[in-house]
Amino acid sequence: MLNNKNMFKLSVVSLALAGLLSACQADKPGLHMPVPQALAVNASHYQDVQLAGTEYQLFTDPTGLKVQQGTTVLSHYSGAFIRLTVQPLSDDSVLLAAIEDNSNSLYIWRFAPAESMPLQLLHQQLISSRVVDDLCFYHSSENQQLSLFLLGGRGGADQLLLQQQQQWLAQPVVIRELNVPYDSTACAVDQTAGALYIAEADRAIWRYQAEPEADEGRSLVQVNKPFGALQGEVKALRVLSDGSVLALEEEPARLLHINSDGQIAQAVKVAVLAEASGLAVSVQNNTATAYISSEDAEAVQQLSLTLPPANERSPKAAITQLQPTLQTEAASQRGDVMDDPAVWHHPTRPELSLLLGTDKRAGLDAYNMQGKRVQQLSVGRLNNVDVRYGLQWQGAPHDIAAASLRDDNSLQLFAIDNSGKLHNAGNVTTSMSEIYGLCMYHSAQNNKHYVFVNDKSGLIEQYRIDTAGTGWQGTLVRSLQVPSQPEGCVADDKRGVLFVGEEDEAIWRFAAEADAATTGEAVIRVDGEQLVDDIEGIALAEHNGSSYLLVSSQGNDSYLVFDATAPYAQRLHFRISTNPQLGIDGASETDGLEVTTRSLGPGFEQGALIVQDGRNRMPEQGQNLKLVPWQHILQQLK
């Protein structure tokens, strides 16, 4: 696999070849070049919208924001507004946003021509986090969120959540802070693909993911000469319906049409403008009409581009969204630190139960039901953890937590007393060379406790935990195998079944008893659409006699619920999204998860789903655990 540096070099080489080819094509004699035409509107930023079959002009000039129909001014709002952008709404109305330049304040309006007050100010907010150089809306059809990016020119951007699941927020909430190039000048979003494009002045155009819980990586779209085709500072970007991009260079004014491969399809000079800064676009059939404006509010230039035939793109289907109602403190270190959660239930008081979480750099953390860290056990690099109940340790009843210790490929054991305090109960040596996932099993047949642990090679070993009343010992009783790297696993104590996730391929079912056959069966396979590798955390839940298997689908930041018995029907596919009321971000890039249907106290009377959040935002900080009430999942089950 290519690393980021080599990918960057490859992108630059490809763009250089594409730039040379594009330049040669643009210089061919006889090639038709569109000619700009002036509109009877002087504006610094201009938008042309169609609502209920009627055309309206929305624009800014030195006096403020204006809305016109033909030559009739319908609405006017005073101010020194810049970077006007619009977002269609579903009810014959549009959302407008602009920055008041003198105060660096965000203004958001709704324009609905059929209403008595067509232009309504919805929100006004001083932006103190950065000086805003551009704005762009993003409507996620998949996650049912409407947000607005505020692009700063000094290496940062904010993503403001405005609406979630058709409900407007009382106040916008910052759900993501992005690190972007220092001289960022323009942004635009591909609403269908969920891609955020950012221009780095005259140097490059980058593509990021627009989803707030998505990976922070970026890819190169275009660069400046001699490696690419950019010549001037890019002041505006717009995405067309086919996914191609229009980029407007400021001086000399030039409009670039960049296809989905980053190549220049067309480059048109706008010589009538000394400088250009504003760009809007409308598309009809295979013709894109660009509206180009300048900060000096000269006449808006209209330019028509013929687009090549393209396949129609459909918005992504909506996915069920559930909100977390509790989160733990963040890990003390940044990066890929936390991995797997487990639950310890207090014997008499559910609200005193504990959440356990592995730290891949240090050990095991314990959190109370307010999310506060109450104990840290610095035993080494732990990967997965699980809990069972009712063993003797040092002459007294204790519960047991077992974890996979990567430092020496052993089983790290912990004894848990009735108060919830964890004690280091020693280690069990394994034969593994790259220890990884782990889960526990309590046999209903012989009342013995077991640990299943796996290796990156696909090896799975089963250890029986024995006690002489003082310490615990582990004995290898059986070995299993899956074809490639596993991690997540869970054992069904009631039915004597073990489920193991082979990360890239499938979920396997084995008999869990120590004397059972060692052959397994792949019962749920990665489909690349809803269950997308890696398969990570796996947990079991019992409700009203039914058993459910919950799975972390890491490749698309989602979760699935299956029947835990044949034919393993899928019951639910969902994501964990932002809870703006509680200021808790969604969960993504999840490794381990756990579920309990026993009470954890107020707010979790029927239990909870606990997931590791690989990208902890609001604010950006170390990883943590998120909790969703089990009742909320039950309400969504088919």
Q: Which of 343, 406, 419 is nearest to 379 (CA)?
A: 406
CB atoms within 10 A of CB 424: 14
Query: Is the predicted pLDDT of residue 25 greater than 70, yes or no?
Result: no
DSSP string, 128-159: -SS-EEEEEEEEETTTTEEEEEEEESSS-EEE
Where does the pLDDT of residue 3 fall: very low under 50, low under 70, confident under 90, or very high at 90 and above? very low
How do strand 486-492 and strand 472-481 relate by DSSP bridges? Answer: unpaired
Alpha carbons 292 and 279: distance in angstroms, whole number: 5
Residues whose CB falls within 8 Å of the CB of residue 167, separated by 6 or more in sequence, listed in order: none
Task: Give the mean model confidence (pLDDT) for residues 446-475.
Answer: 95
pLDDT confidence bin for 310, thresholds 50/70/90: confident
Neighbours of 5 (CB within 10 A): 8
90 — pLDDT class (breaks 50, 70, 90): confident
In this prediction, residue 207 carries a pLDDT of 98
Domains, the chain: 4-306 (2.120.10.30), 333-557 (2.120.10.30)
Residue 155 pLDDT class (50, 70, 90 cuts) = confident
Indicate the SS3 state at residue 190: strand
Q: Which residues pair with 142 in a beta bridge?
A: none
Q: What is the DSSP letter of 263?
A: -
pLDDT(19) > 50: no
pLDDT of residue 32: 55
Q: Across residues 145-160, what is the average pLDDT? A: 94
Tens of pLDDT, residues 536-584: 999 999 999 999 999 999 999 999 999 999 999 999 999 999 999 999 9
Share above pLDDT 70 across residues of the chain, in percent, rounded to a whole number: 95
Pairing relation of β-strands 338-344 and 624-629? Answer: unpaired
Positive or negative torsion for Cα 455, 457, 462, 463:
negative
Report whether pLDDT(13) > 60.
no
- Say whether pLDDT at 274 is over 80: yes
> If you average pLDDT over every residue of the chain, what do you get?
93
For 17, the enclosing helix (H) or strand (E) is helix 4-26
- Burial state string for 57-69 with b = 16 or more CB within 10 A and e = fewer than 16: bbbbbeeebbbbe
Q: What is the number of helices (H) and of strands (E) in the chain?
A: 2, 49
pLDDT at 256: 96
* Total Cβ atoms within 10 A of residue 252: 14
**Distances in Å between the alpha carbon of 167 and those of 162, 171, 172?**
9, 12, 12
213-247 pLDDT tens trace: 998 889 999 999 999 999 999 999 999 999 999 99
Is 637 in contact with 571 (CB distance < 8 Å)?
A: yes
Residue 538 and residue 551 in contact, taking contact as beta carbons nearer than 8 Å: yes
Question: What is the rounded average pLDDT of the residues 98-126?
Answer: 96
At 374 the pLDDT is: 98
Question: 418-439 pLDDT, tens per residue?
Answer: 999 999 999 999 999 999 999 9
